Structure formats: C-alpha cells, structure tokens
Amino acid sequence: MALTEEQKKLIQNFVSQPLFRQHGGLMTDLDGTIVLHQNGNFSIPPEVQAGLNKLYQSNCPIILNTIRFPLSIIKTFAAVLYPLAQKPIPVISLNGSQWGYILLGENQEYRFIEAGAQPLIPADIQSCIADVRLLVQQQVPNIAAFYYPRDWTKGEIIWTPAENKVAELAQSYPSASHVYSSSLAILENNLNAEEISMIFLLGKKDHLAATFLQRNFKDFYTTTGVNKLTGAHAFVNQLGRTLNQFIGAGDTPMDVFLQETGAVIKVGNLPLDFDCQAPILPVETVAELGEVFTPMAEACSVTNPSYQL
C-alpha cells in the first residue's frame, strides 16, 4: 500500500501540532494491529518493527493498549519491543484494568511495574459467578473461566467444572500458568481471595435453553464501566497527557479508545461498531502499518523532546 498525499498530509498535520508534541503520542492495540497471527504463531512484521524503531528514535511516546495480560506481553513481545524502545514500555492491559511499564530488571529479566489498576469489585465477581452457575446448571458444554489476578506474576489461571477437561485446556492454552477443576464454591472463594483484574468466560452460550437466551452474558468481565477507553484516560491523565492528542491504532470493536483519539489508524476490514470523533486512516494489513509510522516519525522528530513517559 502506498499512502496517498492526502493521508500523508493528515498524519503530518496532526503530528506537527505543538499539542501533540507536548501531550500526545501513539496508542496502539497489539493483536491484529501491530501483531500478525498466522498458523498459531504471533509476530511483529519487520515493516512494523522498522516503523516502531523510527518512532522510538524520534522520541514519540508509544503506549500499548491490549486485552493481553502483562505476563503474556512479556513472554511474547518484550524481547522484540524492548530493544527498539531502549526504555520502559508503557502498557494498558486486560481491557483497561491494569496499566504500568514493562522494563528490564537488574537480573536481565523482563518485569511489569504497575502504575494503576481498576480491579473487579465484589459485585462484579458475583455477577460472573451467577452466570457461570447458570451455564453449569444448563449443562452448557466446554465451560471455562479464565481469570487474571492483579498480581501479574500469577499470569493466567483457567478453571473448568469438568475434571476431564483439565489436560485438554492445558494443552490448548499453553499461556496459562495453572489449569484446575473444582466446585463452583471453590472457584468463588478463589476469586474473592485476592484482587482480580479481569475474567474471560468461555462457553457455548448458544446451547442455553430459550428462556435464558435474552440474558446479557458477557465474554469479558471487568469492573463496571472499565474498558480500553477508561484505561486509556486513566493512564494518560496520570502522565499529564490528553487522549485526544494521541494517534490511535486498532482493528476491532474492543478498541474503544479510538473513539476519542485525535486521529485514528484502522487496520483490516472488521467494522468498529462505534463512531470516532477523528478522521480515520484505513490500512489493509498489519505489515502496511509500518508505512504509516515512517511519516509519523519524520513529523515528530524534535531537537529537544519532552516525550519521556
């Protein structure tokens, strides 16, 4: 894809604004946006790595805003992104529930330092438990609850009501730190025993009896109102920056932070299902996003940047 002159001008005009340099940057989703998924493997295409490298060299702030949990980001992408950034990487994780920095520790191991969080409140956990209970009662197949403690070192934990599904789930989700089966009461006790950032509920809800089809079953449970947009506001406000001075990049309806960024780069053809307040620059593939990053880097290069996050 070759950017049109109009598209290049849109980027250059936005990035060259003093407010962008003082209060903005790039906020980008990972999967499907800068990360390519092929045959079960995840990678950041060389074109995108080159573009990110130019942005980092020009001191443009880059914040990752992703559904992934911190340990997953560390294990999958830190070894690629940190050498490009050469400094702590700002991250909003778990659908806006937890944010902070990925950095390289003294022992040369990557770690996450939390800067803020919005964990589930007890009422939200009880709402999830009620939904799980109903799915179990209705004998919905392949029920599994994926949950993510605020203690990022615990990673991803998977619960299933079916003991015979434990080995299968462990094989299907090697990212999980622990897979177990228990009674629903034990699951409830575990969820209430510590702060939980997010729960993902897996189950074939189309198997529910007709009387339950209108119930608002969720896939992702965060504390009420928390999503990628609220997480974005919380983090950038904490940094003394403003979301509408950021360029946003994303690819799915979950990337709701795009609603309020000052410019939008949309990757792929999936409808966003929401309106954006800013112009949208569409790109067809993940690899083509690298071409957009190059004029961004050229426009935001400054001799005395105040871009440190």
The model's pLDDT over 23-63, given as tens digits with 9 standing for 90+, comes to 889 999 999 999 998 877 889 999 999 999 999 998 889 99
How much is the mean pLDDT over the chain?
90
Say yes or no: 74 and 208 in one domain.
no
Residue-level pLDDT at 207: 56
With residue 92 as reference, give the H or E element that holds it: strand 89-93
CATH number for position 130: 3.30.1240
Is the confidence at residue 210, as pLDDT, over 60? no
DSSP annotation of 65: E
Q: Which residue, 221, 245, 271, sits at the end of a domain?
A: 221
Averaged pLDDT for residues 67-79: 96
Say yes or no: 184 and 253 in one domain.
no
Is the confidence at residue 241, as pLDDT, over 50? yes
Say yes or no: 13 and 113 in one domain.
yes
DSSP annotation of 207: G
Q: Which residue, 196, 221, 246, sits at the end of a domain?
A: 221
CATH number for position 267: 3.40.50.1000
Residue-level pLDDT at 303: 40
Which residues are CB-neighbours of 148 under 8 A, at least 6 positions away? Answer: 69, 94, 97, 155, 156, 157, 196, 197, 198, 199
Say yes or no: 185 and 277 in one domain.
no
Q: Are strands 41-43 and 280-283 parallel, antiparallel or unpaired?
A: unpaired
Per-residue confidence band for 193, with pLDDT thresholds at 50, 70 and 90? very high
Q: Are strands 246-250 and 263-267 parallel, antiparallel or unpaired?
A: parallel
Residue-wise DSSP of 141-166: TT-EEEEEESSGGG--EEEES-GGGH
Name the burial class of residue 133, with classes exposed (0-12), middle (13-18) and buried (19+) by CB atoms within 10 angstroms of its CB.
Answer: middle
Is the confidence at residue 203, as pLDDT, over 50? yes
Averaged pLDDT for residues 78-99: 96
- Domain count within the chain: 2
Number of other residues whose CB lies within 10 A of the CB of residue 101: 16
Q: Which residue, 179, 195, 221, sits at the end of a domain?
A: 221
Say yes or no: 110 and 130 in one domain.
no
Whether 35 and 283 have beta carbons less than 8 Å apart is answered as: no
Name the burial class of residue 138, with classes exposed (0-12), middle (13-18) and buried (19+) by CB atoms within 10 angstroms of its CB.
Answer: middle
Is the confidence at residue 307, as pLDDT, over 50? no
Residue-level pLDDT at 28: 98
Residue-level pLDDT at 211: 45
159 in any annotated domain: yes
Say yes or no: 103 and 12 in one domain.
yes
- The winner for highest mean pLDDT among 8-22, 61-75, 215-229, 272-286 is 61-75
Say yes or no: 146 and 231 in one domain.
no
Per-residue confidence band for 245, with pLDDT thresholds at 50, 70 and 90? very high
Residue-level pLDDT at 205: 60
- Its domain, for residue 165, covers 122-221
Say yes or no: 127 and 101 in one domain.
no
Residue-level pLDDT at 300: 72
Say yes or no: 251 and 106 in one domain.
yes
153 in any annotated domain: yes
Say yes or no: 100 and 147 in one domain.
no
Residue-level pLDDT at 305: 47
Is the confidence at residue 218, as pLDDT, over 90? no
Only one residue has tokens 């609220």, namely 230
Only one residue has tokens 């050469």, namely 86
109 in any annotated domain: yes
Closest CA to 37 of 76, 94, 75: 76
